[in-house]
Structure 1
């Protein structure tokens, strides 16, 4: 068969800065003349070239970021680097890019792998939070936008694969030290917070025994501060100015949306992470290669939050009708004053701990020149605990005790929330004392413990249901995953097919969540002693400023120390609240897959055609254990549940590359793909209740809510068509169109279920026949529709215009996405994570050791997941954002300073324009749920390579 031979330029491209594609480069070089001059580009430009070549020589549609050396990815965060790739973007979580969306789909619709193996996650679901993984120990990331049959992970959006270095491919000893100092743009927002941090990495790569054994080791430690000024609202109820009350069934006349209440605060966080990575590679013969890799991450995220919860329409104060100002366009009450209002001063502390361990072993053996086999096994586990304390204080215990305040609010017309006016000094330790100033919840167990019952002879009416002086959320997650893979390949002497790959894989995953909460009550509280307690001197920390929302200073004290030292008694909320059992569950998945794939190497006329065609059969057995919980006379009754389900899919895939010439390629991809249901949606825990008083709107007397362990995956058939032009060693242009035919999704639903013979939990008796149906609330499969879009990407080195511009260049991309999705009832539905426009831009200069670049990533509005009350996943409307970063650096060796060869320094500014994170709650942009201002971050770093 006649095939074109690679030119000298192609060979140079394939070898320029390549480590992960070294074997491919060697194959190309074998056909070249011995005097080929290899283009060697280092630094950021070297990373760009390697990323381009990964895309160019892949059989699939991929995007890639690569490191010139281990520990030298272009950004301090993997998520930030990934988010600049065409079609990708990130959602910030507490100021850090963490969750990555691919082509309009949320993080739950893409799979994440580490050296090709699926990953566990520290969240409640499947989506990986990338700030768990240090960029300093990674050699690169590849994003597969089209799958192949041998890819051992499933995701409608794609697969994100993080890679460690292969020490034998490096070919030299490398000892490197990296360090960074970090400074937040805000001064300390809390007196006990951090505004300075550091990170450091030491890495070692070497080869032994005549380059048959290679070792790579990296250790990274980090203490990274993050600060935030946050406006947060409770919500926006309808309010009647004329009747001076929130709308109810008796309200008459006009009503307007009004601020129900607010919880603004300042947050100081410190993310501490210690990571160690080890890779041992052995190639005792030319036919055998064995690799062992291990990763350990110890992750602690400590948050200190201080703020004031201010009730308005939902408070006990009276709103002055004359103070209400109504926006003419939206009808929203933009400002008002509430008189006689009492607030809750909050000093909160949260600690999130996670520990990840992962081990993997891979061996490849070439039985002959034609046959090879591969075996891969891995085990990964993550444990996560959260300890989140809310501490309450105020002017007096109970809704009607203590000094009240007249508080006003005014929205400024933007998305920044409201400014407040007040009359009290909330930094006065004599005025603001420990204790519950407002009624949050009625707990039968709490009232029984402290004698707060209607049968009491004491006059405690002012304090009844006020034994809650704080609360602790303490959920735990454990996620375990074991994988096995056995594959083989056969090289063919065929005009169309160059190789056949086939094999099987097995994944066994178990994820469990335990939910718990604790009521906090001041030690010594009783019906005889229901008062407040002054903050002891040794726990006072001065004050925290809330000037950014007009509330002045507030008292600051060490909440965690007060709890640890026994100043509060704790009582489990799960004693009388079934929600903790319904949020506790175990989900198990056993996935067995078989695949066969043919690698294509043919000609269409005179056009070389490469790629692959294959099919993957996936069998899934899932089960879940949990609880069916009910509340009976204020106490919890629970029955264990155990539900199993299985299903299978046949997933064909096709990838074709048409080499128009050595620079231009047209790609086509088609595949059926699946995304498995979120784990917090497919559990077997549920809550049931029965009311014989009257049926609900559906005519049912039972109410059942919870997970659905019989959920099956979302399904889609995708098509990709792209044009790629590699016009220079450092430059390319691509245009792509993609389409997803979604045939099944997952939606909320309420439906009737038959509960014949089920006894009433309160009486133990089976209800009458006409009261044996229930309304079930859960997720269900169904619906579908279309998603389509386009991507434009350009990497342009300016030296193609003139040699004097060598070192200048831009990297830019634009993605547009549209959807037409309907739920199972035919209603329009907006996909979570979908921004209809995504843009990225990097302008760089690198020459003679000097490096400078500025980067921008931009996305339009979207729906995103955040942590809500009790750390439940909550979806909100998030405003689009544009984030700018910049970095300058100098490599002394490249600059000709021989005495400092190997040393480079960098200075980076993140979030230059102080772009906030904004989410909405209502029909108007004025109805802000969250306005989070993180400020800027400054990093000064160095790297030294021996």
Structure 2
């Protein structure tokens, strides 16, 4: 049965083209410019020698590329810096840029690491891998960024709209440009920024170029717990050539790498729970003592494999026509093997088969059991495996034709991403009907969870002790045994887009060119899958099986050895799968369809105002969105089991339509002496994560509060984007193309934002005759209740400043030729508090949380030396405490506080300057040299509740270009 819903009656509809304050501001400025005496001379020109890619204004997917031919100079770090400065300096918007130091090589190992060194940009390390994974710009979470490939939107394999950055091998990127202020001709922009990843274009090069790179890696070096190291290897090839009198260009890039990470020590304190456990004494028969609530020690080993490729074919028979086909492919496999031990220490039982513990032999200090022994203890040996296979395919075809005074362009995009994941959880220990163990602890002071030492009474490395079984009875015990769990989610996302544009030079006062365009994007994304309890074959609820193999491993930094095995392939041999569907699982099955049409107009302007030459652009986008969310509605009163019969669900869909009108203006004033003052004013949006738009929901009668009421949770297909007005101001002083100093400030006024909270909701369309309704109280017999779902709030602001210095020391004195520094600092503040929803490690004593992704202070430093073939660089990036996002054990996104960190990276290389080895270079790199851990906390940063140690990573490589 399909249930369709439209916009609720009585909701005020705002006119699509109502004049907003930003639009009014743009009109006023444009009027002022029109009345001024404008200059006919362009204040900035493209430096085609500095960069191997066109400047930012000329590199969107539908606008003409530069017709000049680039000359590639192999000058390493300084070449990359100068090319990036050229992009920044010549852009009419406020941008940051990174250009490849050399063909097939970026300054860092990944796209995310390179981006994180730019002003106002920070990276969150992946909890499992330790690598830079998610990018925050100006204090906003990663979902606020728009990510493009050669100016085009792409499919993704996660819940977010943009693909994960680890899908893009650094070797395949020619440059990266971050738009901090919007450009009306750029489609798919974000509220925080728009990140455009650019591959090289072959006709921008003057000759054939071939580059080969090979690298060996050591991971997890110098781990604090002395765990085993990992290794890896990486290969890349880039080939660029031109044929038929430079009318045909070909660029091909290939990369392949595989890594097995070093063993990582992880600790979890079960949210920092302190238990008050009975401890009677002669002086106090009713006495209690505080003891750790529980612990989880894990050793994790990551594995990564990825193959990537891109190809670009260009055909330019004359100056009036150019056709470009871009192909990008990335396919990878990731794995995470967890081996550990967990269990409750004090307090109540943690499962059906876990009796309450009894504290004995304790040493009490100020009411805290600093040491003691717990009887009736149940420990769980965990051997989990989380893996995924993903691929991303993107095809873009761009045609540019000049007809008379018009330059027209047609661009087609197709992008598809898929991800098949699997998550095995297996439990081993004492069967539920057998005698229990004891555990002793020491070194506890009431808060230092990471320092407590534990000693179990039994040897969990002995396979006769650690049996595969339903240890805890977490699913209900004998009526629903669970010796493990298996989930196999599948995500598919497809994006199709067509874009048409036309540009013409004009002489309309200060307007020197106009661009008209239209883009239509169709996106379809879904998440499905199978999951359920793993049962020991044979049907005995207390059934136990011997753990295959003979391996053992240390459980994190506990010093406790446990039995270890790889559970893949065990379904059908050791386990049976009890297929499972319930309200929570149905909530994970969803599909979303989007149809977005964007019409835009942009005017390039030049002239004089207040005696200052200026250039820039003024434009507007009109965006119509139609979104349809699908999912399942589950009445928990009828969900009495975990099959499709015992837990029936309704298929539901819901559609909404709306308009957004986004004016924008960017002006750059020439202050002479290589000084530029930039001003930006715009209205911007960021769309919700796709899973937030699902229509699924589940509900039940709540009887735990002060009164009975229907209560549910789910997605919201009527969710509108984050919307904001923003003001930007930037002063930049350039030293030719060698360096610059900049000071920037910004302010974003949020009109709407998205948060999760309960709201009044009528459940009548989803009720059945058997659904219980409230009895008594203010909602007696009512179908009205509370639905917790993503919602649009209003009000709030984000503001901050950014400082950047990027200069070679030769500007100071010739004796320091070859030395240089790049340093930047940002300070960002937010005036928004969101209700506490969806935390992984908060005990419920928090009323509000800051804006996710916001580090108030972020600092990046890079010192380098480069001369006579030698390159040496040291870099550090530091960010203050912030609210990050991680995935929990059910694949749900959760918010968690992450302690600020400083990460130091080093690199050195030598390039042969003469002889038969000319063009070859050797290099070594060290990441996380200072061994910075990943720390999560609940309320006190000095008392972390989750710790991950990654160790250092070393890279040794050779690069050859000819």
TM-score when normalising by structure 1: 0.88
Aligned counterparts, 1:523-602, within 5 A: 523-526=537-540, 530-535=542-547, 539-546=548-555, 548-551=557-560, 553-563=561-571, 566-574=573-581, 577-602=582-607
Q: How many Å apart are 1:464 and its aligned residue?
A: 2.3
Check conservation: 1:319, 1:336, Cα contact below 8 A. Answer: no
Alignment correspondent of 2:722: 714
Closer, same or farther in 2 for the Cα pair 1:583/1:175, shift >3 Å?
same
Q: How many Å apart are 1:5 and its aligned residue?
A: 7.2
Q: How many Å apart are 1:58 and its aligned residue?
A: 0.3
Closer, same or farther in 2 for the Cα pair 1:311/1:45, shift >3 Å?
same
Match of 2:312 among 269, 276, 279: 279
Aligned counterparts, 1:687-702, within 5 A: 687-690=698-701, 694=703, 696-697=705-706, 699-702=707-710
Alignment correspondent of 1:72: 105
Check conservation: 1:189, 1:544, Cα contact below 8 A. Answer: no
Distance 1:253 1:118 in 2: 65
Greater displacement, 90-99 / 766-775: 766-775
Closer, same or farther in 2 for the Cα pair 1:493/1:704, shift >3 Å?
same
- 2:865 maps to 1:845: yes
Alignment correspondent of 1:496: 510
Closer, same or farther in 2 for the Cα pair 1:187/1:660, shift >3 Å?
closer
Alignment correspondent of 2:232: 197
Check conservation: 2:370, 2:443, Cα contact below 8 A. Answer: yes
Distance 1:189 1:29 in 2: 52
Closer, same or farther in 2 for the Cα pair 1:282/1:428, shift >3 Å?
same
Check conservation: 2:437, 2:456, Cα contact below 8 A. Answer: no
- 2:204 maps to 1:164: no
Check conservation: 1:515, 1:580, Cα contact below 8 A. Answer: no
Greater displacement, 845-854 / 774-783: 774-783
Alignment correspondent of 1:233: 269
Check conservation: 1:740, 1:787, Cα contact below 8 A. Answer: yes
Closer, same or farther in 2 for the Cα pair 1:332/1:581, shift >3 Å?
farther
Alignment correspondent of 1:915: 932
Check conservation: 1:339, 1:406, Cα contact below 8 A. Answer: yes
- 2:392 maps to 1:360: no
- 2:158 maps to 1:123: yes
Closer, same or farther in 2 for the Cα pair 1:617/1:862, shift >3 Å?
same
Alignment correspondent of 1:931: 947
Distance 1:269 1:622 in 2: 37
Distance 1:799 1:877 in 2: 43
Match of 1:350 among 380, 386, 394: 386
Give 3-state SS (helix, strand or coil) of 2:545's partner: coil
Q: How many Å apart are 1:65 and its aligned residue?
A: 0.5
Give 3-state SS (helix, strand or coil) of 1:80's partner: helix
Closer, same or farther in 2 for the Cα pair 1:29/1:726, shift >3 Å?
farther
Distance 1:878 1:103 in 2: 17
**1:106-143 residue CA offsets vs partner (Å, 9 max, x unmatched):** 00011100000112222122243211110111101000
**1:507-527 residue CA offsets vs partner (Å, 9 max, x unmatched):** 111111114322111112426
Check conservation: 2:310, 2:326, Cα contact below 8 A. Answer: yes
Aligned counterparts, 1:424-435, within 5 A: 424-435=458-469
Distance 1:184 1:757 in 2: 55
Alignment correspondent of 2:818: 807
Check conservation: 2:708, 2:774, Cα contact below 8 A. Answer: no
Closer, same or farther in 2 for the Cα pair 1:854/1:345, shift >3 Å?
same
- 2:756 maps to 1:748: yes
Q: How many Å apart are 1:743 and its aligned residue?
A: 1.2
**1:878-900 residue CA offsets vs partner (Å, 9 max, x unmatched):** 1111111100001113xxx3210
TM-score when normalising by structure 2: 0.87
- 2:182 maps to 1:147: yes
Q: How many Å apart are 1:263 and its aligned residue?
A: 1.9
Distance 2:223 2:946 in 1: 21
Distance 2:321 2:863 in 1: 44
Check conservation: 1:17, 1:41, Cα contact below 8 A. Answer: no
Aligned counterparts, 1:853-872, within 5 A: 853-872=873-892
Q: How many Å apart are 1:860 and its aligned residue?
A: 0.5
Q: How many Å apart are 1:566 and its aligned residue?
A: 1.7
Closer, same or farther in 2 for the Cα pair 1:258/1:858, shift >3 Å?
farther
Distance 2:635 2:783 in 1: 16
Check conservation: 1:365, 1:373, Cα contact below 8 A. Answer: yes
- 2:795 maps to 1:795: no
Q: How many Å apart are 1:22 and its aligned residue?
A: 11
Closer, same or farther in 2 for the Cα pair 1:608/1:242, shift >3 Å?
same
Check conservation: 2:488, 2:531, Cα contact below 8 A. Answer: yes
Alignment correspondent of 2:623: 618
Alignment correspondent of 2:141: 106
Check conservation: 2:294, 2:344, Cα contact below 8 A. Answer: yes
Distance 1:14 1:280 in 2: 21
Q: How many Å apart are 1:618 and its aligned residue?
A: 0.7
Check conservation: 1:417, 1:931, Cα contact below 8 A. Answer: no
Q: How many Å apart are 1:163 and its aligned residue?
A: 0.3
Alignment correspondent of 2:453: 419
Distance 1:718 1:267 in 2: 43
Check conservation: 2:761, 2:785, Cα contact below 8 A. Answer: yes
Closer, same or farther in 2 for the Cα pair 1:193/1:805, shift >3 Å?
closer
Q: How many Å apart are 1:226 and its aligned residue?
A: 2.2
Check conservation: 1:514, 1:583, Cα contact below 8 A. Answer: yes
Q: How many Å apart are 1:495 and its aligned residue?
A: 4.2
Check conservation: 2:298, 2:341, Cα contact below 8 A. Answer: yes
Greater displacement, 811-820 / 252-261: 252-261
Q: How many Å apart are 1:803 and its aligned residue?
A: 1.6
Aligned counterparts, 1:371-770, within 5 A: 371-394=406-429, 396-398=430-432, 401-408=434-441, 410=443, 416=450, 418-442=452-476, 464-465=478-479, 467-526=481-540, 530-535=542-547, 539-546=548-555, 548-551=557-560, 553-563=561-571, 566-574=573-581, 577-631=582-636, 632=638, 633-634=640-641, 635-690=646-701, 694=703, 696-697=705-706, 699-756=707-764, 759-760=767-768, 762=770, 770=781
Distance 1:662 1:390 in 2: 64
**1:793-826 residue CA offsets vs partner (Å, 9 max, x unmatched):** 001201112222111001000000111114599x
**1:381-420 residue CA offsets vs partner (Å, 9 max, x unmatched):** 11011111111111x211x524402232545876846432
Which of 1 and 2 has higher RCO (CA within 8 Å, sep 6+)?
A: 2
Distance 1:365 1:728 in 2: 34
- 2:358 maps to 1:323: no
Distance 1:411 1:97 in 2: 34
Closer, same or farther in 2 for the Cα pair 1:243/1:784, shift >3 Å?
farther
Q: How many Å apart are 1:317 and its aligned residue?
A: 4.7
Aligned counterparts, 1:290-301, within 5 A: 290-301=323-334
5+ residue gaps, structure 2: 1-36, 350-354, 837-846
Distance 1:571 1:263 in 2: 27
Distance 1:240 1:403 in 2: 21
**1:634-656 residue CA offsets vs partner (Å, 9 max, x unmatched):** 23110110100011111010100
Closer, same or farther in 2 for the Cα pair 1:906/1:323, shift >3 Å?
same
Alignment correspondent of 2:6: none
- 2:907 maps to 1:887: yes
Match of 1:55 among 78, 88, 97: 88
Q: How many Å apart are 1:555 and its aligned residue?
A: 1.0
Check conservation: 2:53, 2:174, Cα contact below 8 A. Answer: no
Give 3-state SS (helix, strand or coil) of 2:189's partner: coil
Distance 1:12 1:756 in 2: 63
Q: How many Å apart are 1:41 and its aligned residue?
A: 6.8
Check conservation: 1:690, 1:760, Cα contact below 8 A. Answer: no
Give 3-state SS (helix, strand or coil) of 1:234's partner: coil
Aligned counterparts, 1:175-190, within 5 A: 175-186=210-221
Q: How many Å apart are 1:254 and its aligned residue?
A: 11
State how many pairs are aligned.
889
**1:17-69 residue CA offsets vs partner (Å, 9 max, x unmatched):** 443249989x99999xxxxx999672111000000111000010000000143
